[in-house]
Chain A
Amino acid sequence: MTTLAGGVRGVPSRFLPVLATVVLFVLSFGVGAVRYDGFASGQVIANLFIDNAFLIVLAAGMTFVILSGGIDLSVGSVVALSTMVTAAGLRAGWPVPLVVLAVLVIGSTLGLLMGLVIHKFDIQPFIVTLAGMFLARGLCFLISVESVSIKDRTFRDVATAAITLPGKVTITYNVVIALVVVFAALYVLHRTRFGRTVYAVGGNESSALLMGLPTARVKVGVYVISGFCSALAGLLFSLYMLSGYGLHAVGMELEAIAAVVIGGTLLAGGVGYVLGGLVGVLVLGTIQTLISFQGTLSSWWTKIVIGALLLVFIAVQRTMVRR
């Protein structure tokens, strides 16, 4: 950390956590590039995006919620519900646009409901979104207890379509959508009044209220955004898995929160960036890729490493906040 701080003097300290994450990403990727043949290829980087597109979208939505000082535990379940609605809708013969619309509306509505309960009745976001998590998973199983595969031709074509970039690197449409979401989130957070109010509410809600900022709209709005992003992530996940299942994306909310925290967003709210979440997801993805390249390490090491990383980052954040 000291060398890092020495090397980036002149950079505002609020950028330091994000920079630390970027350095971590470069380092972990560097380790892979040195140790394994074929690791440092464009396709491996592209695969990081392809395999984690839905997580990138989730992290973007989660960033809004955490910045406002809340937390959303329902995202994983909403992803599962979205895959289920997609699969069941397509099986019933609905046209693809209608299915997409239905999924997005359901996700946003769930978010809106949770936001309203949190704000109107002053109940902790933790409990309300926990109930949302149970509700969404329960709804999945109400539709079907079994896994439903997606056979729709259009949907499969989109899922398997590859875009070739220069250098023979291929990506899927998922990646494009995820990146569009990240840029939209960047725009909303830094270029609109809503975005500034999110930071203000997360920094100090009473001050924001006394300044006359529309805190109510923001406090409910972040959950709508998160719900929308979860639904969209669910669509991407159905494209990735080509099935709908109530046990999809179990524990994904924790991955999203971990990515956002590793990306340098303060859980107390008010400090952080969307790009941090993106890099956080890439770090998690790199660790998984490293472990699969290693071959001898078992998959559970991923969890231990993620836990250790979380620890390091919150400890670093803690010392920075104290200063």
Chain B
Amino acid sequence: MKNRLLWPLLALAALLLLNLVVTPSFFSLRMQDGHLYGGLVDVLKNGAPTLLIALGMTLVIATRGIDLSVGAVAAIAGAVTCVHIGTSGSAGTAFAGMAIALVLCALLGLWNGFLVAGLGIQPIIATLVLMTAGRGVAMLVTEGQIVTVNNDAYRQVGAGFVVLPISILISLLVLGLVAFATRRTALGMLIESVGVNPEASRLAGVRSRTIIWTVYVFAAVCAGIAGLMISSNVSAADANNAGLWIEMDAILAVVIGGTSLAGGRYSLTGTLLGALIIQTLTTTVYTIGVAPEVTLLFKAVVVIAVCLLQAPKARAALSFRKVAVS
């Protein structure tokens, strides 16, 4: 376990060290009007949606699945809420809109779960359907416009502060809940057993299908909340660009954190580290002054490096060389 988290930890440490050398102000924190400001807080705030989606993704991947539709689901959540709020400024409307959006997301998760567990379709393809159609649906909801709202209650979700940004508090709360629900009960083990062998776990009395449905619904709800954060942060719903590529970032966070795409084991701490690494990397690239678009290049390098370090075959080749040298 320790060994698996070592590389992600080292990578994060290296990134932070780089920041320390290049931009010392990165680590300065200051309190202002009861808010904490600073580079690290920015990383947490901007990384909150990715972390949240990655948490849902971790459980899906642990069952040997994958959910490509989370970005589209996030866009739908933002679109539905913003359209519901409209010009209203009342907190009640905002909460009603968010509730409607999250219920809708849960239904979308049920749909994914139905395709995967009910019809037995490969997860990549099953969720590809919603990934393609979902953005169309989001645009249908917003009628192709960027819907802007002006609602203080809604803005709190993505841009509010209670000392720390509210968005990261929500993500950490979900992390805590998931960790408790899966590591303090048998649920985590059941999820892993489904990932190792769905058929064998079914024969052993595990309700594989119910578990698969549950993780997809959970992933969709996480994506929904993340979508609310993204849209609330800018007080607008952009059906085209909200949550674009976030499914890829989330999958990367999960993989960097040491969860195998082959299913069967997962690490929530690893996912947290992975999400932090990705966000720190993005922020670092900004602060160093490289064109933000080139971040992709760094991401690619990090992904390949971490994957190689974790791949058994690559490790074998590496340790063989060490033995040969010594």
Q: Give A contacts to B, CB under 8 Å.
A: 71, 117, 120-124, 126-128, 130-135, 137-142, 145, 246, 254, 257-258, 261, 267-268, 298-304, 306-308, 310-311, 314-315, 318
The answer to whether A138 and B133 touch (CB under 8 A), given A126-B124, A298-B144, is no
Contact of A131 among B129, B143, B261, B307 (CB under 8 A): B307
Q: Which of B130, B137, B300 has a CB less than 8 Å from the CB of A134?
A: B300
Known contacts A127-B307, A298-B139; can you find 17 more A-B pairs with CB under 8 A? A122-B312, A124-B262, A126-B124, A131-B303, A138-B294, A138-B298, A141-B291, A254-B131, A257-B128, A267-B124, A268-B122, A303-B139, A304-B137, A310-B125, A311-B129, A314-B121, A318-B119
Closest 6 CB pairs of A and B: A307-B133, A138-B297, A303-B136, A141-B293, A138-B296, A135-B300
Docked-complex contact B293 and A138, CB < 8 angstroms: yes
Query: Whole-angstrom distance from the CB of A267 to the nearest CB of chain B?
Result: 5
B299 in contact (CB, < 8 A): yes
Q: Which residues of B contact A124 (CB under 8 A)?
A: 261-262
Q: How far is the CA of A257 from the CA of B307 in the complex (A)?
A: 24
Secondary structure dominating the interface of B: helix
Complex Cα spacing A139 to B122, Å? 32
B interface residues with partner A (beta carbon < 8 Å): 66, 115, 119-122, 124-126, 128-137, 139-140, 143-144, 239, 248, 251-252, 255, 261-262, 291, 293-301, 303-304, 307-308, 311-314
B133 touches A318 (CB 8 A): no
Taken together as a complex, chains A and B put the C-alpha atoms of A131 and B261 apart, in Å, by: 15
In this complex, what residue of B is CB-closest to A117? B304
Would you give the shortest CB distance from A94 to chain B, in whole angstroms? 23
Q: Is the CB of B136 within 8 A of A267?
A: no
Q: How far does the alpha carbon of A130 sit from the alpha carbon of B255 in the complex, in Å?
A: 12
The distance from the CB of A306 to the nearest CB of chain B, in whole angstroms, is: 5
**Which residue of the partner chain, among B121, B132, B139, B307, contacts A258 with CB atoms under 8 Å?**
B132
Task: Give B143's nearest chain A residue, CB to CB.
Answer: A298
Min CB distance, B13 to chain A, in Å? 22
CB of B132 within 8 A of CB of A303, answer: yes
CA A246 to CA B295, docked complex, whole Å:
13
Task: Indicate whether A126 sits within 8 Å of B296 (C-beta atoms), given known contacts A117-B304, A304-B137, A307-B132.
Answer: no
CA distance A140 to B134 in the complex (A): 28
Residues of B within 8 A of A135 (CB): 296-297, 300-301
B130, B134, B140, B303 — which one has the most chain A CB atoms within 10 A of its CB?
B303
